[in-house]
Structure 1
Amino acid sequence: MRAFAELLDRLVLTPSRNRKLQLMVDYFRAAPDPDRGLALAALIGDLDFPAVKPALLRALMSERMDPVLFGYSYDYVGDLAETISLVWPTGDDGAGTELRLADVAARLMAVSRSDAGKVLTDLLDHSAASERFAILKLVTGTLRIGVSARLAKQALADFGSKPVNEIEELWHGLHAPYADLFAWLEGTADKPVPQAQALFRPVMLSTPMGDTDHTKLEPSDYAAEWKWDGIRVQVVANNGTYRMYSRTGDDISGSFPDLMQAVTFDGVIDGELLVGDPQGRTATFSDLQQRLNRKSVSPKVQAEFPVFVRVYDILQRGEEDLRGLTFVERRKHLKAFVSTLDPARFDVSRFVSFDSWAQLDEMRKHPPHPIIEGVMVKRWDSTYVPGRPKGPWFKWKRDPYTVDAVLMYAQRGHGKRSSFYSDYTFGVWSGPEDAPELVPVGKAYFGFTDEELKQIDKFVRDNTIDRFGPVRSVRADRTTGLVFEVAFEGLNRSTRHKSGVAMRFPRINRLRWDKPTAEADRIETLQSMLDA
């Protein structure tokens, strides 16, 4: 358990991607089975201990520490697991004991809800502070250590000297603690043969089109399609098993039963999931969010927010793997394939005709539909290659919108940012000119440098006027405050927000220390963008 705790501690404090990879590789090499497999499952969020909930942790702490003092401690630290691990009262601090990750996981998986408090207390009482942190991170399921599932799979690839796409193709047929996977990666067993059907295929990704990239390319070598503002999906059907995956390989089929009923083919297609009707309207991303991450979807929601897939590639037709064909050849297969499907649920992404980059650039800046966020540019002769190869596919997005907004609230971050106020809510002016008020229009937690983070954090601490748990309200009026230039990709109407708008992918573009808060934008600026 100490090795896993040390791994978490070092991952939290390590910003470098390559160093994180090396830390995971070293752990996989040194840890025994099944500890390393359980650690892998924890890193990718695939461990669940249903008997232990955050409410139980708070209840245990209320028996051991004054609630007000604990609240102040939690506010200062910014992370529930870390706070409890530091203040948990224990006499021996785990001296002379050695817990194994496998033993801890087995006890927590087998415990009933009525006994969960007793078992967790025993584990924490016999653990050092770093181990307590690891145990609590396990049971809360929120590691927040800067490791994505994709990065963990890359670490496995580095560990076994295998292509990461080979691991991704196996992934949905494997289960924790992944003993057969590690045996193959170490060269002591054959490659696992997944028993599951309709497995995910690693997707091909595009690279952003730089300001001068297109000047080096021949327009006639490339096709262009509109880039729609939905989510990338892969629909897989194999021997009567039907699944839909996100671009990262998460199975999202359960949220879209109406669409899955229309999957009557045998093959693998790649496209964009959108709300609306292929022959009529295409709704906003906010509408699509009404369908995402739902365990059950009522008939009313299905009818109000119908979904379809705008298909732009085909990877497999029946048993025939088409990824080695050129893009133009795959398109021929795709058109014939989609022509046999339900037209209310599937259509083919249309090409954008252009003769020069200047012409396509103009269309990119002024697309014919508000849900289009740019163009995709693909070489006619490109094969379907997993990952992000440079050159075959480009995304050329619209220039971001920007507004000047005022910082209103700040919240502590997580991991290495837990000591800083790094999550920001900002607003614009609304109401009469002589008595305006700020209304929140978005949140952002990136787009600034480490040095700028320190500057904003100091401003928050020096200008706090109220507290709401871990959130601080800062001074923001017509004469005092901090202005952010906020960049965002799109804007949607929203009934959930007081401002009536919701931003897509907002980020801090720059700090406007020079700008008076009174000169920040008004809500009418955003409303005019919506109307346009």
Structure 2
Amino acid sequence: MRAFAELLDRLSLTASRNAKLVLLRDYLRATPDPDRGWALAALTGDLTFDAAKPAMIRKAVEARVDGVLFGWSYDYVGDLAETVALIWPAPPDLRPNREPELAEVVEALRTAGRSEVKGLLEGWLDTLEPKGRWALLKLMTGGLRVGLSARLAKTAAAMIRPAEITVAPSPDGAEATVVLDPVDVSAIEEVWHAVPPPYGDLFAWLEGRAERPSPDAPGRFRPVMLAVAVDEAVDFPKMNPDDYAAEWKWDGIRVQAVVEGDVRKLWSRTGDEISAAFPDVVEALTFEGALDGELVVWREGVIAPFGDLQQRLNRKTVDAKAMAAFPAAVVAYDILAEGAEDLRALPLRARRARLEALVQGHSGTRLHLSPLVPYQDWAKLAGLRADPPVGAAAEGLMLKRWDSPYLAGRPKGPWFKWKRDPHVIDAVLMYAQRGHGKRSSFYSDYTFGVWTPEGALTPVGKAYFGFTDEELKQLDKFVRDHTVERFGPVRSVRAARDFGLVLEIAFEGLQRSTRHKSGVAMRFPRVSRIRWDKPAREANTIEDVMDLLDAIEGGGGRIAKA
């Protein structure tokens, strides 16, 4: 557990991507199985414990520490794991000589019932030093927050492969040296879902001790191909419109629908299986193969706004009422396999023809073809992008080279995403709360509002990114200097028509919401600019916001800021 804790600590304090790769590579090389496999599973999000909950951790610490003291400490630190790790009063006379190994902790948590976890947790916390406690709690809750994506972790795993290995002596007593080819991260992603944690077969292959594991598990996930954002000024002069297919960038979530034999699965773009939340879709798919597409709510022949799909996301199960109210479907834009044939090496034009034939022969309302957008030049396409006839369901355009194979990762050139400009309003800062992790000492989560006809502010969203580190310090100082009330960890900031801080808020969409006092909810809000120069009374009104919502629902129009 000590080596894992040291790894997490160093990763959390390291900003450089390359430095993170080296740290994890060295850990994976030096750490034996199965500890390194469980560490990799934790870092890639493939390790969860159903019986371990944050509420259980709070209950354990409050049994040993005064509740008020813990509350104040948690408020100041801002992170549950870090707070408990620092405040836990381990009895020094009972500290065992041996800390638990990572594999020992994982195996115990995987088999323990909910009633057993609290006792295990307390015993481990008594054993470990603060850094080890922090790593343990991060492991249990799944919130590692060390700035390492799953793909970056797999890239580090690929780096453990040696350049050459020495094989055992032959009958004549001579040793042989075998040169190993480097492994690309896409090759790891190809077999990832066929090798369960702690990945013994995967490490054996990477180190040249065994053959590559077979990726041919029925219903498996294929590594996705991603697009890069287009730079109109730089990219378009070098691009020929005839070389690219254009289609709408649908406002749903990227999915992979796989039907192979008796196995039917629906995967998110990150390789998380979401079949249980969408059984109506999975059961209705009758093709044989693997499709890439967008999961949306499809109602009366129209793609509904993203807010409708949100009603079904992140659920382990779904009832008949939700399925009827929010009928989901897959809008397919690529085909990766048909039957037993892998089509990813074919050019897009050939894959598109196969996809069109497959969807045309598919019955029901759960699978649709993403239509192509006809255009003559970039100027005409820019006009469609600015005012798409499909309304709120399209957040921009995709441009894909007709001759491009389906390549894992984010290659530069074959696919581009050309998102619509975000909506923007001016809002007034109302409340602030400390962040987590590195931001736990700063007020970095901001609730903002717009003016009502009565001259009051009503909250319309919350943002916690979009600003620089220097701007964060300025915002934090403003909050501290102008706090007027405290509600636990929340600070109410002075905000009136004659005084207040205006934030320019950019966001991707709006939807009606009965859960919010203002009646609206924003999608992906962020601070795009701090308007130190703008009087609070000139911020937008709730009428402006509702006009924008009506325009979006009616076809994607925009309003001018106040």
Give your verdict on TM over 0.5: yes
**In the TM superposition, what is the alpha-carbon distance from 1:96 to its structure 2 partner?**
5.1
| Number of the residue aligned with 1:26 | 26
- Whether 1:65 aligns to 2:86 is no
The answer (yes or no) to whether the contact 1:95–1:128 under 8 Å persists in 2 is: no
- Whether 1:174 aligns to 2:195 is yes
User: Residues 117 and 322 of structure 1: is their aligned pair in 2 closer, same or farther, counting only changes over 3 Å?
Assistant: closer
| Number of the residue aligned with 2:171 | none
User: Residues 49 and 382 of structure 1: is their aligned pair in 2 closer, same or farther, counting only changes over 3 Å?
Assistant: closer
2:428 is aligned, of 381, 406, 418, to 406
| Number of the residue aligned with 2:122 | 121
**In the TM superposition, what is the alpha-carbon distance from 1:50 to its structure 2 partner?**
3.6
| Number of the residue aligned with 1:246 | 268
Take 2:110 and 2:226, find their aligned partners in 1: how far apart are those partners?
38
**In the TM superposition, what is the alpha-carbon distance from 1:48 to its structure 2 partner?**
3.2
| Number of the residue aligned with 1:383 | 405
| Number of the residue aligned with 1:447 | 466
Take 2:238 and 2:414, find their aligned partners in 1: how far apart are those partners?
13
- Whether 1:5 aligns to 2:26 is no
**In the TM superposition, what is the alpha-carbon distance from 1:19 to its structure 2 partner?**
2.1
The answer (yes or no) to whether the contact 2:284–2:364 under 8 Å persists in 1 is: no
The answer (yes or no) to whether the contact 2:285–2:367 under 8 Å persists in 1 is: no
Take 1:244 and 1:113, find their aligned partners in 2: how far apart are those partners?
29
2:218 is aligned, of 197, 202, 208, to 197
| Number of the residue aligned with 2:84 | 84
| Number of the residue aligned with 2:448 | 426
SS at match of 1:427: strand
Take 2:201 and 2:38, find their aligned partners in 1: how far apart are those partners?
13
SS at match of 1:261: helix
User: Residues 137 and 343 of structure 1: is their aligned pair in 2 closer, same or farther, counting only changes over 3 Å?
Assistant: same
Take 1:157 and 1:218, find their aligned partners in 2: how far apart are those partners?
36
Matched residue type, 1:44: T
Question: TM-score by structure 1 length?
Answer: 0.95
CA deviations over 1:467-493 (Å, ceiling 9, x no partner): 333332222222232211111122222
Take 1:115 and 1:245, find their aligned partners in 2: how far apart are those partners?
33
SS at match of 2:159: helix
**Superposition map of 1:497-512 within 5 A:** 497-512=516-531
The answer (yes or no) to whether the contact 1:92–1:126 under 8 Å persists in 2 is: no
| Number of the residue aligned with 2:346 | 325
Take 1:51 and 1:356, find their aligned partners in 2: how far apart are those partners?
57
- Whether 1:224 aligns to 2:246 is yes
User: Residues 115 and 398 of structure 1: is their aligned pair in 2 closer, same or farther, counting only changes over 3 Å?
Assistant: closer
Take 1:111 and 1:351, find their aligned partners in 2: how far apart are those partners?
52
Aligned length: 528
- Whether 1:415 aligns to 2:437 is yes
SS at match of 1:225: strand
2:206 is aligned, of 177, 185, 190, to 185
**In the TM superposition, what is the alpha-carbon distance from 1:366 to its structure 2 partner?**
0.8
Take 1:118 and 1:332, find their aligned partners in 2: how far apart are those partners?
59
- Whether 1:133 aligns to 2:152 is no
- Whether 1:294 aligns to 2:315 is yes
CA deviations over 1:283-312 (Å, ceiling 9, x no partner): 110000111111111111111111111111
Matched residue type, 1:381: D
1:309 is aligned, of 330, 338, 343, to 330
CA deviations over 1:409-438 (Å, ceiling 9, x no partner): 222222222222222221111132xxx121
The answer (yes or no) to whether the contact 1:405–1:426 under 8 Å persists in 2 is: yes
**In the TM superposition, what is the alpha-carbon distance from 1:333 to its structure 2 partner?**
0.8
CA deviations over 1:310-349 (Å, ceiling 9, x no partner): 1111111111111111111111111111111124111211
Take 1:16 and 1:482, find their aligned partners in 2: how far apart are those partners?
34
**In the TM superposition, what is the alpha-carbon distance from 1:195 to its structure 2 partner?**
7.0
SS at match of 1:310: strand
SS at match of 1:182: helix
Take 2:52 and 2:419, find their aligned partners in 1: how far apart are those partners?
44
| Number of the residue aligned with 2:379 | 358
2:505 is aligned, of 461, 486, 489, to 486
The answer (yes or no) to whether the contact 2:190–2:215 under 8 Å persists in 1 is: no
Take 2:481 and 2:75, find their aligned partners in 1: how far apart are those partners?
16
Matched residue type, 1:368: P
User: Residues 76 and 527 of structure 1: is their aligned pair in 2 closer, same or farther, counting only changes over 3 Å?
Assistant: same
User: Residues 249 and 47 of structure 1: is their aligned pair in 2 closer, same or farther, counting only changes over 3 Å?
Assistant: closer
Take 1:210 and 1:343, find their aligned partners in 2: how far apart are those partners?
39
- Whether 1:531 aligns to 2:550 is yes
RMSD of aligned Cα (Å): 1.8
Take 1:53 and 1:311, find their aligned partners in 2: how far apart are those partners?
37
SS at match of 1:377: strand
User: Residues 345 and 108 of structure 1: is their aligned pair in 2 closer, same or farther, counting only changes over 3 Å?
Assistant: closer
Matched residue type, 1:43: L
SS at match of 2:389: coil
SS at match of 1:114: helix
SS at match of 1:451: helix
| Number of the residue aligned with 2:558 | none
User: Residues 481 and 10 of structure 1: is their aligned pair in 2 closer, same or farther, counting only changes over 3 Å?
Assistant: farther
- Whether 1:496 aligns to 2:515 is yes
- Whether 1:143 aligns to 2:158 is no
Question: TM-score by structure 2 length?
Answer: 0.90
1:208 is aligned, of 229, 232, 243, to 229
Take 2:461 and 2:521, find their aligned partners in 1: how far apart are those partners?
7
User: Residues 249 and 106 of structure 1: is their aligned pair in 2 closer, same or farther, counting only changes over 3 Å?
Assistant: closer
| Number of the residue aligned with 2:304 | 283
CA deviations over 1:197-238 (Å, ceiling 9, x no partner): 111111111111113121221111111112211111111111
The answer (yes or no) to whether the contact 1:13–1:415 under 8 Å persists in 2 is: no
